Structure 1
């Protein structure tokens, strides 16, 4: 007897209502005797499947069984279906089938009232093959290896993968790097030639606090920025309103940013529409960066 077939019969009855033994036998390519045995098995498991004879008879599940027996409220069912639908981009390609099955089991329809797309406009989500490979490596506790591009060069890494994270519009893999002998974050878009190795690891996942703080344990410094109002749409997109002061010509932002390469590259993304006012030492360093860029484009 196939447990998979039992579930499919249950799913078919939930979705389609009344059917016949003959129809089920044809759909699942088994004998009517086998279908009768399957129905008995489902009934023994507590599923109230009824059979009746006559022109309007057939095989069906008692009305309202799912709602009466479910441990979820109607609101919880909607939350589950919505969560799966709106994060389907990180699930397997069978997500639609999963949604249909859960909708039938919950005796409700998935409400597609919101769509969540965590990628930005320019870049697509990470390769599904890479994402799935890392996901299964995490679940199977298998070491992964890859070539990683950072600051103008590439290094070969082997890590014990722990968690996939989405932060600041980018996907990262967090794990224990065997090259650095420490926990590290790696941006998926910088990974090349990913391989899932046969080697397994036994390291316990005791790093939740480290993961939570990985993005915040950077050297943040208070900065004062002045933006042209022509770029105000981006300023309000990327900074909290409490950090923004508005005057007649400019937007003044007082915030904290990492004092590393990210700061200057981030400011440069605003072109000539931003000026770093404070702190003075970073302003002077930024001026040097701008001069070096200008020198590359200088012609006689």
Structure 2
């Protein structure tokens, strides 16, 4: 109804009330989960909210504000729950990692470029933190550096636990 009438929506999500400008209702590729792509006024950023996790929803009397129609159109064409469009990471992946990449399809980043064992992926840091821990030594995060440092720190903590 909000999309049809171009109205903002108030939602309760993770225990917090947020006012959102809903733009799209999408199902992620390879999943059966529905998401509302929107602009969240509380976070002042674009967000996806999993419909099943919305605790409460009410229609606002205020009209939707369209912040960036070009970006919204790109998300519509390149939808993923992590909003990876335009965000890239670089990895070094061995043969075992490549086989695993072909098998693990849930939340798999889009491959933009392959140059031997160096790949460029369309992927947010958040998605990489969910997807790549299962690869262990079969993938090395090269860039961005803050993501690489996060993996190093987490792997050190895991190693300490096992030693």
Q: Given the two structures, how large is their TM-score scaled by the length of structure 2?
A: 0.64
Report the counterpart of residue 119 of structure 2 in structure 1: 254
> Whose Rg is larger?
1
Q: Are the equivalent residues in 1 in contact too, given 2:37–2:47 (CA < 8 A)?
A: yes
Matched, 1:143 2:11: no
CA shift, 1:268, in A, is 0.8
Matched, 1:187 2:49: yes
Matched, 1:286 2:151: yes
Report the counterpart of residue 232 of structure 1 in structure 2: 99
Distance 1:279 1:176 in 2: 28
Flag structure 2 segments of 5+ consecutive residues without an equivalent: 76-82
The ranges of structure 1 where at least 4 consecutive aligned residues each deviate by more than 6 angstroms after the TM superposition are none
Distance 1:241 1:140 in 2: 37
Distance 2:23 2:54 in 1: 19
Report the counterpart of residue 275 of structure 1 in structure 2: 139
The 3 A distance-change label for structure 1 pair 177 and 284 is: closer
Flag structure 1 segments of 5+ consecutive residues without an equivalent: 1-135, 246-251
Instruction: Please give the per-residue CA displacement for 1:241-263, whole angstroms capped at 9, x wherever unaligned.
Output: 96374xxxxxx351234352322
The 3 A distance-change label for structure 1 pair 155 and 232 is: same
Report the counterpart of residue 26 of structure 2 in structure 1: 165
CA shift, 1:157, in A, is 1.0
Q: Are the equivalent residues in 2 in contact too, given 1:144–1:194 (CA < 8 A)?
A: no
What is the Cα-based RMSD across aligned positions, in Å? 3.6
The 3 A distance-change label for structure 1 pair 183 and 166 is: farther
Report the counterpart of residue 37 of structure 2 in structure 1: 174
Normalized per residue, the structure richer in strand is 2
The 3 A distance-change label for structure 1 pair 244 and 163 is: same
Instruction: Please give the per-residue CA displacement for 1:224-251, whole angstroms capped at 9, x wherever unaligned.
Output: 222416x616437656596374xxxxxx
Matched, 1:200 2:61: yes
For residues 73-112 of structure 1, the aligned pairs below 5 Å read none
Whose relative contact order is higher, 1 or 2, with alpha carbons under 8 Å and at least 6 apart?
A: 2
Q: Given the two structures, how large is their TM-score scaled by the length of structure 1?
A: 0.39
CA shift, 1:267, in A, is 0.7
Distance 2:128 2:18 in 1: 26
CA shift, 1:287, in A, is 2.1
**How many aligned residue pairs are there?**
148
